[in-house]
Amino acid sequence: MTGCPICKAGDFRSLFSAHDDRYAFPGIFRINRCDCCSHTFIKSSSDLTGHTRLYTDYYPRGSYDLKGFQPKAFPDGFTAWLNGDACAAGRWVPPKVRILDIGSGFGENLAYHLRRGCDAFGVEMDENVRATAERFHFKVHIGPFDPDNYHPGFFDWVTLQQVIEHVENPVETLRGIAQVLRPGGTAVISTPNANGWGARVFGRRWINWHVPYHCNFFSRCSMQRAAKAAGLQIEGVQTVTSSEWLRYQWAHLLTYPVEGEPSPYWSPSGRRSLTVRIGLKLFDTLHYARINHLLTRLFDSLGVGDNFLFLLKKS
């Protein structure tokens, strides 16, 4: 990569280097920001061509218990607002439509859409979800998103919940989304905001750097450019963030590992000392007192929250 992956400008600056601070995938990753469109992206010293291995071998889904599977639920009202539940891309989808959920995970969102009469399809990179898809008869493609797997204009809605940041070529992915959307169809994208308050305050220990899994971080400007290049237009954009994220952030600070070691908080193989367990209990108390919720709603209202929600329309 010689320039910004969105605007192709060669004027970008290196912010810092980072390692996988969750699951200990090997390598050092350089985080850069484009001076032209404020897009943030990584450069890697590792070979990331084997993306299926990256997720299948390192993401902690292999030990998932199918007995605990539940369809996603999206409650309404004050509690939903306080929790920041509107950050979920699936929440914006109306009933009885045909939808593609890219990065569908274990299918909780697919089950939610099916219960509302939708014709729901999924795409997931992680081989570990195959058993879930087969057991519940979900229509899931295991592997990367390929628009040629579907008829042009096949879907009314496409959702990407914390997915676009994982994609190495996001403009190409958006073009594929435009290809499978019907005219007037909508794509909903929920993705971390690397220009928000969290990245500024916590620096390299911000939870959403999450390298090398996250490799592209959009700004308002870079999403506008990417959407236009793909034949889409932005219908709406806001920062709306789950209040749980700030709870995770405090825990991440407490348990931040050295390079090459899995996090005692994020990784099933990490071990928590007594001090860490006590600290996590204290942070949980802070969370249940709704302090995290109030702070998160404040920063979202100022437009500097940790998470973007983009609504893109196919003209």
The reply to whether 4 falls in a domain is: no
User: Does residue 64 register a pLDDT over 70?
Assistant: no
Q: Give the whole-angstrom CA distance, residue 54 versus residue 20.
A: 11
For 217, the enclosing helix (H) or strand (E) is: strand 216-217
What percent of the chain has pLDDT above 70? 92
Helical (H) or strand (E) element with 15: strand 12-18
User: Can the peptide bond before residue 60 be classed as cis, meaning omega within 30 degrees of 0?
Assistant: no
Domain CATH number, residue 153: 3.40.50.150
- Can you tell me the distance from the alpha carbon of 150 to that of 158, in angstroms, rounded to the nearest whole number? 12
* pLDDT recorded at residue 126: 81
pLDDT digits (tens, 9 = 90+) for 73-109: 888 899 999 999 999 999 999 999 999 999 998 899 9
3-state secondary structure 145-210: CCHHHCCCCCEEEEEEECCHHHCCCHHHHHHHHHHHEEEEEEEEEEEECCCCHHHHHHHHHCCCCC
Q: Which amino acid is at 247?
A: R
Mean pLDDT for the chain overall = 91
User: Of the candidates 295, 307, 183, which has an alpha carbon nearest to the alpha carbon of residue 250?
Assistant: 295
> What are 135-180's pLDDT values in tens digits?
889 999 999 999 999 999 999 999 999 999 999 899 999 999 999 9
Q: Which amino acid is at 237?
A: V
**Residue 157: beta bridge partners?**
99, 186
93 belongs to a structural domain: yes
Q: What is the pLDDT of residue 282?
A: 93
Structure tokens at 237: 């954009």
Q: Is residue 222 part of a domain?
A: yes
> Which DSSP symbol is given to 80?
H
pLDDT, tens digit (0-9, with 9 covering 90-100), for 176-208? 999 999 999 999 999 999 999 999 999 999 999
Q: Are strands 29-34 and 181-192 parallel, antiparallel or unpaired?
A: unpaired
Residue 128 has pLDDT above 90, yes or no: no
> pLDDT value at position 133?
86
Written as one letter, the residue type at 272 is R
Q: Cα–Cα distance between 283 and 281 in angstroms, integer?
A: 5
Distance separating alpha carbons of residues 108 and 110, to the nearest angstrom: 5
Q: Is 3 inside a domain boundary?
A: no
Is residue 130, in this structure, part of any structural domain at all?
Answer: yes
Q: How far apart are CA 195 and CA 21, in angstroms?
A: 20
> CA-to-CA distance for 153 and 242, rounded, in angstroms?
32
Domain count, the chain: 1
**Cα distances (Å, whole numbers) of residue 95 to 99, 113, 114:** 10, 7, 9
Tens digits of residue pLDDT in 226-239: 999 999 999 999 99
Is 1 inside a domain boundary? no
* pLDDT of the residue at 63: 53
Check residue 49 and give its pLDDT.
Answer: 44
Any domain includes 294: yes
pLDDT (mean) for 58-66: 57
Beta bridge partners of 310: 189, 237
Q: How confident is the model at residue 50 (pLDDT cuts 50, 70, 90)?
A: very low
Residue 107 belongs to what domain range? 12-314
Report yes or no on 5 lying in a domain: no
Q: Beta strands 98-102 and 119-124: pairing type? A: parallel
User: If you ran DSSP here, which 8-state letter would residue 94 be given?
Assistant: P
